[in-house]
Amino acid sequence: MDELTQNYLDYLIIEKGLSKNSLMSYSADLAQFLTFLEKNKIGFVNGVDLTVILAWLIDLAKNGLSAKSRARHLISVRGFFKYLLNEKVISANPLKNVGIPKTGVSLPKFLTVQEVSALLDIPDISNPRELRNSAMMEIMYGSGLRVSELIFLKLQDVNLDANCVRVMGKGSKERIIPFGTPAGTVIQKWIKEGRPVVLNQLSSPYLFFARAGKPMTRQGFWKILKKYGLMAKLSKNITPHTLRHSFATHLLEGGADLRSVQAMLGHSDISTTQIYTHISKEYLIKMHHEYHPRS
């Protein structure tokens, strides 16, 4: 790691012609980022994803850095990853889609706890289809599911006694994720009261479905979120990923440890999952219960 960092700093001197003061700033920013990774036991080359970047930005904010200072740190780290990508040390830049406004960097887009509550309060759960929509939003925010994981959930994937859901994520990797009491209550109501009415004597293996018992499309669920966002008078553009991102942000801001949040979100890279294989289901439930706003 020291060699990669030094090579990058040499590159900035030789290729970019950076001044001594600028080089010192870059070096300090990178050192801080690497210290954060080491503290959280995150492998550098394959262990950094958007969740790690989010946790790092939150950490910078908690340490009192202004938006302008966070932007400078982000520019330093993003440039380093771009260099590593060009040198073929990594196969993708995890900061590629992280924008930097002129006013400085803020945390990636997510809903506040109050905005999530306003959104989740909109559905009229006396209506069976609205009850379905409510259950879908509650479990997505409650467990941080990907939209593809949500729409293909099956009845047997949900354990209402333990308040946990089993999903098959990217790379056919299974994970068990807790959800809170509000999600459990509305899901149980949907299964017992709403689901049979909407099915209308049809059968379906899926927990949630659209017409004829078939899974809802990603676009269908996005339209539901968009409608409720407008009804809740939220100014932000809400997508399915917004709920997943809010799930991670609220846990991290509340104090949950990074590796537990990563475990709940799931990883596409096998090497990154190895760092938290020792985390038990009971520990994840404890993290969720302590730090999720709707636990």
Active site residues: 146, 170, 241, 244, 267, 276
* Three-state secondary structure string covering 135-199: HHHHHHHHHCCCHHHHHCCEHHHEECCCCEEEEECHHHCEEEEECCHHHHHHHHHHHHHHHHHHH
Q: Which residues pair with 164 in a beta bridge?
A: 159, 178
pLDDT in tens, 87-146: 888 888 888 777 665 555 455 578 999 999 999 999 999 999 999 999 999 999 999 999
Whether domain 2-86 has CATH 3.30.470.10: no
Give dist(CA 174, CA 26) in Å, integer: 40
Structural domain spans, the chain: 2-86, 113-291
Q: What was the pLDDT predicted at 277?
A: 37
Q: What was the pLDDT predicted at 199?
A: 93
The label of the residue with tokens 């030094």 reads 6
Q: Which has the closest alpha carbon to 224: 286, 144, 131?
A: 131
DSSP notation for 29-70: HHHHHHHHHHHTT--HHHH--HHHHHHHHHHHHHTT--HHHH
DSSP notation for 97-111: T----TT---PPS--
* Other C-beta atoms lying within 10 Å of the C-beta of residue 114: 9
Residues 6+ apart with CB under 8 A from 273: 173, 267
Give dist(CA 66, CA 58) in Å, integer: 11
Tokens of 69: 């200072």
pLDDT in tens, 146-180: 999 999 999 999 999 999 999 987 767 788 999 99
Q: DSSP strand E in the chain: where?
A: 158-159, 164-168, 174-178
Q: What's the burial of 93, exposed, middle or buried (CB within 10 Å: 0-12/13-18/19+)?
A: middle
At 128, give phi and psi (nearest 5°): -55, -45
Instruction: Map residue 165 onto helix, strand or coil.
Output: strand
Instruction: Pick 281 or 235 by higher pLDDT.
Output: 235
Contact predicate 295/181, CB 8 Å = yes
Instruction: Pick 32 or 260 by higher pLDDT.
Output: 32
Angle of helix 240-254 relative to helix 218-231, nearest 10 degrees, comes to: 70
Q: What was the pLDDT predicted at 204?
A: 94
DSSP 92: S
* Other C-beta atoms lying within 10 Å of the C-beta of residue 9: 17
Least confident of 49-53, 61-65, 94-98, 155-159: 94-98
Q: What was the pLDDT predicted at 280?
A: 60
Give dist(CA 272, CA 48) in Å, integer: 8
Q: What was the pLDDT predicted at 232?
A: 96
Specify the pTM: 0.68
Q: What's domain 113-291's superfamily in CATH?
A: Intergrase catalytic core (1.10.443.10)
Give dist(CA 95, CA 262) in Å, integer: 17
Residue 227 pLDDT > 80, yes or no? Answer: yes
Average pLDDT for residues 47-70, to the nearest whole number?
Answer: 86
Residue 49 pLDDT > 90, yes or no? Answer: no
Residue 69 pLDDT > 80, yes or no? Answer: yes
Residue 221 pLDDT > 90, yes or no? Answer: yes
At 167, give phi and psi (nearest 5°): -130, 150
